[in-house]
Amino acid sequence: MSGARGAGILLLAFPLVLAAQIHVERDSSGQIVISNKGSKAASGSSSSGHISVNAGKPLPPVSLQDVESIRGKLKLACAANGLDYSLVSALVRAESDFRPNVLSNKGAIGLMQLMPETARRFGVSNPWDVDQNIQGGTAYLKFLKDTFNNDIPLMLAGYNAGENAVMKYSNKIPPYGETVRYVFTILNDYGSSYLVERAKKQLATPSDYDEYYVARKSYHPTMRVFYMFFDSHGIRTICDTQPVGVTYTQIVYKDDWY
């Protein structure tokens, strides 16, 4: 997830239990708000109180053709921004598993999981568009690369928690369980034992590696298929059952790194 950790996001949907009818809209300050407010446009779809993380349709496999297309776009964006494609590929695998239609429970969107504020900051008008999402995500990574002098562990921590969180802890990896797991998951996938050892020395709290990564190495985001559409009031709405009478898009709803 790119941008400040939980940056202004109001969440009424928790990681293990999720309202069956979810609304995604903007509040008076322009922030994304996810709530369980009902929708007339979704009245044709059933809603049964709460659904578990196993609700929703199982994820279909990503086609090799789609993955190769995304890889080609990523390589071009990495070359344009002076980024290591292998590192960015590992980041995308952690963020969305190369799926361009992912929405996280914190409101992060798309292939590179851009928070709405981060998307706007880097000129992205539609983060659901894969080309814009890649442009915004790689632009943010270039900014983090310049900000932290090409320090890869800090770049990754900044991408997940926001650069201000890293600076708050004197340019250390913040003591957030999600961020610690995120950084070490990507570094191990990237295949650099040197960077893993270096990152251990950059933790704001040294015990975080064992507490948040080693002990919870098997933790991964839970992703399921949901449906997105605009209701009669123009509000973007997410639901777990196929809606009736509206044009919808299948998306992947992701519970983050708990």
Question: Tens of pLDDT along 112-135?
Answer: 999 999 999 999 999 999 999 999
Q: Write out pLDDT tens, residues 199-212.
A: 999 999 999 999 99
Q: Is the pLDDT of residue 198 over 60?
A: yes
Angle ∠(114,182,24) on CA atoms, nearest 5: 35
Q: Which residue has the higher pLDDT, 183 or 9?
A: 183
Distance CA 24, CA 4 (A): 19
Instruction: Give strand pairing partners of 22.
Output: 238
State pTM to two decimals. Answer: 0.79
Distance CA 62, CA 99 (A): 7
Q: Is the pLDDT of residue 236 over 60?
A: yes
Question: Best-predicted range by mean pLDDT among 45-54, 95-104, 188-197?
Answer: 188-197
| Residue pointed to by tokens 């949907």 | 13
Contact 10, 35 (CB under 8 A): yes
Contact 101, 251 (CB under 8 A): yes
**Is residue 117 among the annotated active site residues?**
no
Q: Give the pLDDT score at 21.
A: 46
Q: Which of 95, 117, 163, 178 is catalytic?
A: 95
Kindly state the DSSP code that residue 140 receives in the 8-state scheme. H
Strand, helix or coil for residue 214: helix
Instruction: Give strand pairing partners of 190.
Output: none
Its sign, for the CA torsion 53, 105, 17, 49, is negative
Q: Which two tokens stand for residue 190?
A: 């990237």
What is the pairing mode between strands 50-51 and 18-19? antiparallel
